[in-house]
Structure 1
Amino acid sequence: MLTDVFLQEVQERGKYDTIHEADRAARVVLALLGAHLVGGERTELAARLPETYALLLLNPLPAAEPLSPERFVRATAAWIDGATNETAKWDIGAVLSAVADAAGPDLVRRILMQLPLGYDMLFGRPTSL
């Protein structure tokens, strides 16, 4: 996927005024997500993203423990200047829904199996139990 196409998707979904805002959200969310994914799923997802974002996904420091969706939101808010938990949810939704479309349903399902319950909502892919 081309960087411009990915960022336009994030910008449209997040209703950001500029590509810079979409890029900032994508960098933070993907770096945090990369710390929680391992193995083939992380590599496969990276292959479906533009190189800049793939590297962020592949090269984070591993998380000491999995973050619940609520803690993921708080961590995102902490990394974006002026963000609140509500704006961080918006940023996460814009980025992860674009990521989910790039990944496809099978890969998203396998990614969600690695993450704590509740991440399906962050990806914009609610699942029924």
Structure 2
Amino acid sequence: MQYHEFLAAVEKHGGPTDRDHADQASKIVLATIGQRLAGQEPRDLASQLPPELQEPLLQHTGEDEIGDDLDDFLRRVADREGRGCDPETALTHSQAVLGTIAEFVSAGEIADLRSQLPAGYAPLFQQPR
């Protein structure tokens, strides 16, 4: 998968329509998800993504993962994204990014990713409204 294909798919899934904004949102969502993952999972997921998306996912590897609920996660994404982003928009952007990832990485990797997240994170894997 090429990075420009990834960004086009994020837009198709309801994410930001501006390429720079889609780039920023994708990297923020991945960096924030990366903080929730333990062990080899960030590296395993990153290995199936374009190089441009690997660093955000891996930047917190080796640090203690953050144990937060979905609302805390969405507030952190919204705060990092800025641009007037609120938690509802952060949910839509997160769904677009994770929906795109689900199209491009193996089903087993998605199952591994989901297994490390609390059940309350399930809305992240639903289609945006």
| TM bracket, shorter-chain basis | 0.7 to 0.9
Within 5 A, what are the aligned runs for 1:55-70?
A: 55-60=55-60, 62-63=63-64, 65-70=66-71
Residues 47 and 64 of structure 1: is their aligned pair in 2 closer, same or farther, counting only changes over 3 Å?
closer
Residue 101 of structure 1 corresponds to: 103
User: Secondary structure, in 3 states, of the residue corresponding to 1:48?
Assistant: coil
Distance 1:83 1:3 in 2: 23
Residues 60 and 30 of structure 1: is their aligned pair in 2 closer, same or farther, counting only changes over 3 Å?
same
Give TM-score, length-normalised by structure 2: 0.86
Percentage of matched positions with identical amino acids: 31
1:105 is displaced (CA, Å) by 2.1
Show structure 1 runs of 5+ residues with no match: none
Give TM-score, length-normalised by structure 1: 0.86
Residue 84 of structure 1 corresponds to: 86
8 Å CA contact retained: 2:30, 2:56: yes
8 Å CA contact retained: 1:66, 1:115: no
User: Which of 104-113 and 54-63 deviates more?
Assistant: 54-63
1:56 is displaced (CA, Å) by 0.9
Q: What whole-Å deviation, never above 9, does each CA across 1:69-97 have from its counterpart, x for those lacking one?
A: 12111111111111111111111111111
1:4 is displaced (CA, Å) by 0.7
Distance 1:64 1:4 in 2: 30
Distance 2:12 2:45 in 1: 21
User: Secondary structure, in 3 states, of the residue corresponding to 1:118?
Assistant: helix
Q: What whole-Å deviation, never above 9, does each CA across 1:96-115 have from its counterpart, x for those lacking one?
A: 11112222322111111111
Residues 116 and 14 of structure 1: is their aligned pair in 2 closer, same or farther, counting only changes over 3 Å?
same
Show structure 2 runs of 5+ residues with no match: none
User: Secondary structure, in 3 states, of the residue corresponding to 1:14?
Assistant: coil
